[in-house]
A = this chain, B = another copy of it.
Amino acid sequence: MKKTAVILVSGGMDSALTAAIAVKRYEPAFMHFNYGQRTSCGELKAFNDIARYFKVKKKLIADIGYLKKIGGSALTDRNIPVEEADLNRKSIPKTYVPFRNANLLAAAVSWAEVLGAQKIFIGAVEEDSSSYPDTTKKFYKDFNRAVKSGTKKESRIEIVTPVINMSKKEIVIQSYKYNSPVHLTWSCYKSNDIACGECDSCALRLRGFREAGIKDPVKYKKNIKW
């Protein structure tokens, strides 16, 4: 029997590929977060569709709406507009949700400890991911240390990041290799129905597909060549 692993699935392409990699070796326990993000409906639909695709038996949707109360990000505060994409931007974009991934991981570790799961998969990407500090390898290494000291000795929980070194182009290529359900994923930061095609997340995705020489199965409102 396969061991259980907790897999964080936002509904985007990175986490879908991460799930496709994880299910090869582990029985998946899918976890999703609602934090009052603009695209929570689009993401939740993608999460449920991807879970169905992988025939996932254990699912947990955690509400961390306090991140919306805290605000400080264009993803959670309607008064901060989502910037148009700038793939050469050097600063941290306004869509950065302060320390968001630590909030997701802490909850995932709590669930893993109760389930007896020793691995937690997260689809963080260091290079391509708009320089958010909580998507760096250094952060995951440090967080893993805190997981080790903050949980029961026998729990032996570890966070793993199988796509952290990939470019978006590589993620597209690997997604098809691993039969990830790319057509079910949701990446857009702005809309819940048809992807906008002009936010950072759409732009990164579209450029990745173009560089991989593959056509994105998802529809866009605007067809900009990124």
User: Which residues from chain A sit less than 8 Å from chain B, CB to CB?
Assistant: 60, 62-67, 69-72, 92, 96-103, 105-107, 109-111, 113-114, 133-134, 136, 138-139, 141-143, 145-153
For the complex, give the distance between the alpha carbons of A121 and B49 in Å: 41
Task: Work out how many copies of this chain go into the complex.
Answer: 2
Q: Which residues of B contact A133 (CB under 8 A)?
A: 149-153
Q: Which residues of B contact A151 (CB under 8 A)?
A: 98-99, 133-134
For the complex, give the distance between the alpha carbons of A110 and B97 in Å: 8
**Least Cβ–Cβ distance between A160 and chain B, in angstroms:** 16
Q: Which residues of B contact A138 (CB under 8 A)?
A: 149
CB-based contact B64/A60 at 8 Å: no
For the complex, give the distance between the alpha carbons of A141 and B25 in Å: 33
Q: Which residues of B contact A152 (CB under 8 A)?
A: 92, 96, 98, 133
For the complex, give the distance between the alpha carbons of A63 and B147 in Å: 22
